[in-house]
Amino acid sequence: MNIDNIEAFVYVIHFSSFNKAADALFLSQPSISARIQSLERDLDAKLFDREGRHFSLTEKGKQFLPYAQQILQSYKNGRQQLQQMHTQLHELRIGCTVSVSNYMIPEILPVFKQKYPDIKIKLITASTEAILEKVLHKEVDLGLVRYITHPHIDSVKFYEDPIRLFVHQDHPFIGKEDTTIEDVGSQPLVFFECGSLDWMKIHRLFETLDHPPHIEFHMDNLESAKKLVLKGMGISFLPELCVHQEVREKKLFPVEVPSLASLSLRTNLITLKGEGSAFFKMFHEIGKEVRLKEERVPAAL
């Protein structure tokens, strides 16, 4: 059964005229008549009684009308949904934290655009809490945030970035074995933290010292903390990803502190629960592919 024939039938009833239905569908009147006749053959039923220019529905026509209207509306709804999905798949709205925007996004988006060149990217940078709200209110499609849970959110681990101690190129810790938390506490510290549990582990270890650590600068911005270390203003615990270039250029050096092993900064990919976002799967797979570990920091000296 042809949907165009059903559409012609419904339009004739709606306008009470073959000519007006033809105008609305940009067809000729004979074309409308031909579609009605084709529908009658498909149904093996006469739908109209015609008397000159006048017509009326037959009993079978009346019985079929609500089904025809339902079929046509379902078809239009389905087409509208597909068009909407097609439109949505042409723009990906990503919300992410500052660190993700600075260090992960430049690695991921080139790979994403290579695979999906027609999709435009809109990036919004904000705090984890603000991005969560934007996901909940459908203002962004995906969020890349620190580990967080919410009953209306689907969340998966996207990246685990080790946190390590970094020092400038002339620091005496370079080449030193078995650096202790006491050694760290005696040095000028540039302390960056973002509220994760792993930063709290560092705090708890500092609390075990006989003397409080020598925190010269307490920062909430990774780039600022890194630049202070580069200028020799102190040493700092930083996620590896933010310093890979400086380590390659031998401007910063990682130092192992055994008592602070296995610390990391976790980034999760989130989307609204039940949305079944195609973007969610696409982005997660690309994250696995990129892995970001190709740019990882070499082993500590």
| Domain coordinates in residue numbering, the chain | 3-87, 91-157+267-295, 160-265
Q: Are strands 91-96 and 120-125 parallel, antiparallel or unpaired?
A: parallel
Nearest to 99 by CA among 222, 186, 2: 222
Coil, strand or helix at 210: coil
CA angle 215, 220, 224 (to 5 degrees): 80
How distant is the alpha carbon of residue 176 from its chain centre? 43
> Of the given ranges (73-87, 171-185, 217-231), which has the lowest mean pLDDT?
73-87
At 133-187, the pLDDT tens digits run: 999 888 898 999 988 888 889 998 888 888 889 999 889 999 887 888 888 888 9
Round to whole Å and give the CA distance between 223 and 252. 13
Dihedral pair phi/psi, residue 151, rounded to 5°: -65, -20
Mean pLDDT of all residues belonging to the chain:
84
- Closest to 222 (Cα-Cα) out of 261, 265, 182, 260: 265
The CATH code of the domain at 3-87 is 1.10.10.10
pLDDT at 195: 58
Q: Is the pLDDT of residue 21 over 80?
A: yes
Q: How far is CA 140 from CA 126, 131, 219, 268, 270, in A?
A: 12, 8, 28, 15, 10
Give the homologous superfamily in CATH for domain 91-157+267-295.
Periplasmic binding protein-like II (3.40.190.10)
At 84, is the pLDDT very low, low, confident or very high (cuts 50, 70, 90)?
A: low
Q: Which of 22-36, 75-89, 187-201 has the highest mean pLDDT?
A: 22-36
Cα(50)–Cα(72) distance, integer angstroms: 24
For 250-268, the pLDDT digits (tens) are 999 999 888 777 788 889 9
Note the pLDDT of residue 111. Answer: 87
Dihedral pair phi/psi, residue 265, rounded to 5°: -115, 115
State the pLDDT at residue 218: 87
Domain 160-265 CATH superfamily:
Periplasmic binding protein-like II (3.40.190.10)
Calculate what percentage of the chain has a pLDDT beyond 90.
31
Task: Give 291's pLDDT tier (boundaries 50, 70, 90).
Answer: low
pTM value surpassing 0.75: no
Q: Residue 270 pLDDT more than 50?
A: yes
Q: What is the model's pLDDT at position 278?
A: 72
On the question of a common fold for 3-87 and 160-265, the answer reads: no
